[in-house]
Structure 1
């Protein structure tokens, strides 16, 4: 009992420290200081929705609504306009193509009619235009490649964010519907068996550890779902996924066997 109490006390202290650090990260994200850091948070996570979102066109929505992708498109349009202006300034009438139809007479010969085309190449009236065209074309190609890369990444992020969203929903629901209720039933049965002296206190404490570990894992699973839900919204509407990826949770067996 003393070891069990000591372990639970250590776990509680660790959880409080993690909660304090998470609150400070939230304060930094909100950009608050002074008296503003005394904001109040709910005491419990929201319940799981009845059903997950169905987003069959998640890639299309992300490509069409992402802010960073729209900014890259605007940059590409601006560079395209600059390139068109440079080309219009650079390639001014470099050649004239005129039809020819005239009579020609060789010395001491019969006259004949000459038909065809006369091609005249004109010298440009400015310097450095070709360099400007190449620079604009290179800038355009760089922006185009960046836009293509970003669009590919956005589609991949959208697919991955939705898969994480669905999997975390299923995991959290499994803990809520199956694991925690079963652990509670087993814990109640263990209490009855202990009361009838069928098991000793060590078995009862071991079962209590498993029940507590299952409850913690269920809370962590629900937290991971809401983090995935936030990441999904950020991928579709914002500028990409956040850095707060769900952490791996130890299994209930490993938590229970620690003591």
Structure 2
């Protein structure tokens, strides 16, 4: 049994044993969740320690996956969430370790003399320097945990941007596929009608082959659009964990661009204040500044150790008493540590300045791209699509008066369909650019202004029953439909502009 320690030694042991309580079992996910929800994203579903997560289920009926629901699925199923959780656990463990003192050390020695007698020495030692530096280690570990929490929130923010881009591309690809399917339907009906005219002797063989080629080309275009839509849908399912089947559907179309945009100065100001990776870089600078100050203040402190030793002599006599071991700063007074701390601080400041400048460049570039895409959409809507429609109408008139042939009319309609598809893709590119701007700023902003009405496919596509190119017969009916379609599209656009509640959500030309 060990001899009873002195009162001083017991007090030292009690003091050294303080601060050894463990941390709560949570891994510090509360702050990342708060930062994410403050930026307009749903709260992530963090896995448990065994990796299990709650399973969001699609309802038995077909469910429409909007962007928020897609993010909900991604924040449950994507591996980045589990990886982020694991990294937070490592930082939390490092904080727990910093809160605990190093274990005491027990020494034992038995020395035997030639006569068979033995001398036994026992010792118990504690690192006093470790005790003195324990509050500082705890403070640094808390700062490192906060920095890791900011990086975790930034990783989720980046994942949300990736999911948003995939969702936009999937919706746009689906809309293009639907448009190409309607074009195929109209081209097939036109080719079928041309077959009947040819059988009756009212259509030349060249015009028949042109109709057949148009139908084949429309079929290839529809197949390519379907492939792109399926690929985009699977890409979204891979990111979110949605099933690779038809148990869920996407919205019919993307909304039109907004008419009001924030200024570059406002966005850059928000960038510096709210972007998570910049906040993490600022936290790194603060930690390096704190580390340099601590290194300077404690530069003279070397290894300091308290020990208590008791010894049993061969003749039965016993010796016991405390001791102190102190490292003397004769050859090094902490100069290398100070130099290292200064260099680390300079690196941290340089990285912060570089990140701010890079972020400002990304914001201004993304804003310029979004504004450019907005103007492109407006040009399609206000200039190119009406011009293509007018060309088709005028070409139809010239066909009626036998000034041009059906081939010119077919070419005009193909260009009209291509222009409408490019219009849909321009809307897609606008929202992709807007998503990149949101990622660059690091926060969402309140939408101001109203959506313009989205032109529906019926503004460029006649009903299949009237889609045939009848040579010299029925052309007046085709012309009459074109004029009627133009008038109807104009009336719908005027109605949408006078009703802000529609916000541009329409399906095939009819505002929902």
TM-score range, shorter chain: 0.7 to 0.9
Equivalent position of 2:218 in the other structure: 8
* Cα displacement (A) at 1:145: 1.3
Displacement over 3 Å in runs of 4+: 33-39, 123-128
How far apart, in 2, do the equivalents of 1:56 and 1:232 lie?
A: 11
Residue 9 of structure 1, CA deviation: 1.4
User: Do the aligned residues in 2 keep the contact of 1:164 with 1:228 (CA within 8 Å)?
Assistant: yes
Identify the residue that residue 253 of structure 1 maps to in structure 2.
Answer: none
Instruction: Using the TM superposition, give the Cα deviation of residue 36 of structure 1 relative to its aligned residue in structure 2, in angstroms.
Output: 8.6
Counterpart-to-counterpart distance in 2, 1:151 and 1:2: 59
* Alignment match, 2:436: 231
Q: Secondary structure at the match of 1:34?
A: coil
In structure 1, distance between residues paired with 2:380 and 2:300: 69
CA RMSD of aligned residues (A): 2.2
Q: Which residue of 1 aligns with 2:385?
A: 180
Measured after TM superposition, the shift of residue 39 of structure 1 is: 3.2
Contact map agreement 1:52 1:166 (CA 8 A) in 2: no
What is the CA deviation profile of residues 8-50 of structure 1, one whole-angstrom value per residue up to 9, with x for unaligned ones? 21111111111111122222332x143798432112221232x
Residue deviations 1:235-256, cap 9 Å, x none? 1125xxxxxxxxxxxxxxxxxx
Q: CA distance change for structure 1 residues 20 and 35 in 2, over 3 Å: closer, same or farther?
A: closer
Aligned to 2:146: none
Matches within 5 A, 1:23-172: 23-30=233-240, 32-34=241-243, 38-49=247-258, 51-57=259-265, 58-90=267-299, 124=329, 127=332, 129-172=334-377
**TM-score, structure 2 as length reference:** 0.38
How high is the TM-score relative to the length of structure 1? 0.73
Shift of 1:141: 1.5
Q: Report what 2:183 is aligned to.
A: none
Report if aligned partners of 1:52, 1:169 keep a CA contact under 8 Å in 2: no
Going from structure 1 to structure 2, the CA distance change for 1:223 and 1:147 (only over 3 Å counts) comes to: same
CA distance in 1, matches of 2:401, 2:412: 16
Distance 1:223 1:200, change over 3 A: same
1:186-201 matches, within 5 Å, as 186-201=391-406
Stretches of structure 1 lacking an aligned partner (at least 5 in a row): 93-122, 239-259
Deviation at 1:201, TM superposition (A): 1.3
Separation (CA, whole Å) in 2 of partners of 1:235 and 1:36: 34
Instruction: Report how many aligned residue pairs link the two structures.
Output: 206
Residue equivalent to 1:216: 421
Partner of 2:464: none
Q: Distance in 2 between matches of 1:36 and 1:134?
A: 60
- Please say if residues 237 and 244 of structure 2, whose CA atoms lie closer than 8 Å, have aligned partners that are also in contact: no
Tell me which residue corresponds to 1:112.
none
Cα shift readout 1:173-228 (whole Å, capped 9, x = no counterpart)? 11011110111121122223223332211111111111111111111111111111
Deviation (angstroms), 1:124: 4.3
Q: What's the offset of the Cα at 1:91?
A: 6.4
| C-alpha deviation, 1:70, in angstroms | 0.6
Question: Do the aligned partners of 2:380 and 2:423 also contact (CA within 8 Å) in 1?
Answer: yes
| Contact 2:373–2:429 (Cα < 8 Å) also in 1 | yes
Deviation at 1:138, TM superposition (A): 1.8
The CA deviation at 1:128 is 6.0
Worse-matched range after superposition: 19-28 or 66-75: 19-28
Give the drift of 1:129.
1.3
Pick the structure with more helix per residue. 1
Task: Name the structure 2 match of 1:247.
Answer: none
